[in-house]
Amino acid sequence: MEIWINPACSKCRSAITLLDAEGAEYTVRRYLQDVPSEDEIREVLERLGLEPWDITRTQEAVAKELGVKEWARDAGSRDRWVKALAEHPKLIQRPIITAQDGTAVVGRTEEAVRDALSRTGRESPN
């Protein structure tokens, strides 16, 4: 399991606290320093079952500068969104947890983190 985090993010810290409490094995990726490539973003989107606009933080200053709220949200615009996420990783919603079963979740809630834990093949005691 890998978790993409921004250490300054309270949701990321909460997710890590829960993973630690459950004894989960995971790798931390500080995605603002270790920026995912366009291909890695596409792979995570596939695992999430989401589109790039679904994981874009549209309230970030850079999102407003780029005008992403006005961008088309269709198959023809997908590459533009992925490119923006790779060039401006602050736009990526966090934390993203890739589960061992090949899926992924955006772990912004305790329920979502527990969902990722349930996909590791071990049961959560709660």
- Determine phi and psi for 66, rounding to 5 degrees: -75, -20
Annotated catalytic, 9? yes
Q: Among the options 1, 2, 9, 13, which is catalytic?
A: 9
Torsion of CA 15, 55, 105, 32, to 10 degrees: -50
CA angle (97, 124, 11) in 5-degree steps: 40
d(CA 68, CA 104): 24
- Please check whether residue 82 is in contact with residue 42, taking contact to mean a CB–CB distance below 8 angstroms: yes
- How many Å is the Cα radius of gyration of the chain? 15
d(CA 76, CA 8): 34
**Which residues are known to be catalytic?**
9
